[in-house]
Amino acid sequence: MDLIATTRQGKVRGRSHEGIAAFLGIPYAAPPFGAHRFRAPAPAEPWEGVRDALEYGPTAPKRPYRPPLDRLIPDPSVPGDDCLNLNVWTPSAGEGRLPVMVWIHGGSLRNGSASLPLYDGGAFARDGVVLVSVNYRLGVEGFGVFPDAPDNRGLLDQIAALTWVRDNIAAFGGDPANVTVCGESAGAISIAALMTSPAAAGLFHRAILQSGPPHTTSRRAGAKTVRAMARRLRIPATAEAFAAVDRELLLDAQAAVVDGSDPVRGGPGFHIVTDGDVVPAVPPLPEADLLLGCNREEYRLWFVPGGTVDRISRLTLRLALLKIRVPQRVARLYRANRPDAVPGEILGEMATDLLLRGPLNRLADSRPARTFVYEFRWRSPVMGLGACHALELGFVFDTLPAAEDLTGPGAPQPLADAMHRAWVDFAATGRPGWSEWNAERPVMVFDHPAAGPVLAPRDEELRAWL
């Protein structure tokens, strides 16, 4: 059955199935090309009549994940310029005032989209939450640092989408005064910046950070990737020069510069920068209620499929620890706690704690508002991935069939029921079902068949970094 909702730009036609209405590909800003390329998002043009919102809209320009990640994480592309669009799932278009969740996808700020079946919002709508998923500019288009263009354009896109939610979500049954913004990996890093941005003030009331800590860099450091691309293209490192380059050639140059990088091993990439405006250099402490956490073995997504974990020798491990200046006492502690681990696993465990678990715990320690911490521990049997990065997504969205590339068949539905319910409850009430962070450091461990709160897991290792 088709349904009509009225937004400030015009009417949109969605489709209802088994009581869930989906409105797909709604533009929240103008296409970011032509006169709008490398500029802040401009308002979407209004339209006459009823606009179909029956299929996913165009995705931001990008290339697929490099092998072997492309087999584990689908990254579909939908052609077209109108890539600043969003999707809405609701149980009651135009009726009631339901809690709202706005999903910001991950992908190292250069991959991903809102059109993955993994992110289907039907289960949230089934359980009384209006789910909105957002596309935003990626890579050099969204996060390249230029002297003649605004910084953090992809973040500005997210703010424009949240503004659209504030102004329009009531037409879809959502409550603009009860909005939770949630995201994973680069999406979570984006949300951490949004929580401190004056430009996003008042646009959301709670936040969920999955496997992504607060992280920004300076404009100077952020511009390195653009300069490397400019050298390859033999053009000036300006937005004007980049805008004159064919889009496919730009993606070729981007891939050549950044494709060998990942969040654990580092390398050239794209980052949110402290611009003193959208992202202040000295951010205030965010006051929104917060749910945050990560997966037990984040590193395995990058270390295992390509065999990196087995190629790291004891000598390589020693050199890596020297390079990142890991204290000897820390290295000894991790080795002692893992007597059967190979060197690559020890390095991965330390990298996970250094880059993710430690910063997230410190964020929880610093906050005046309610904070809840989780850890996802269920281990996938696929390719030895274990409890790797992104594995929790199918459980959070209750879309396990769409997650089988990572989980394998037969992933535990009771675990998806528990995790999905916690996210729904947090969006509705600000309480996911376990004690908030305090001096005892309670962490909700999601696993199967055993799950429950644990006090200060592996705290000795975390404190060893201090």
- Residues annotated as part of the active site: 185, 298, 389
The residue type found at 225 is: T
d(CA 169, CA 162): 10
Q: Are strands 289-295 and 371-376 parallel, antiparallel or unpaired?
A: parallel
Q: For residue 332, how many C-alpha atoms fall within 13 Å in the half-sphere facing its CB?
A: 3
189-193: long-range contacts, CB 8 A cutoff, minimum separation 24: 189/109, 189/213, 189/214, 189/215, 189/272, 190/104, 190/109, 190/154, 190/155, 190/158, 190/272, 191/104, 192/363, 193/152, 193/155, 193/272, 193/279
Q: Which two tokens stand for residue 156?
A: 């500005």
Dihedral angle over CA of 338, 340, 341, 342, nearest 10: 140
Tell how many helices (H) and how many strands (E) occur in the chain: 19, 13
Q: What angle do CA 138, 141, 146 make, to 5 degrees?
A: 130
Contact 308, 299 (CB under 8 A): no
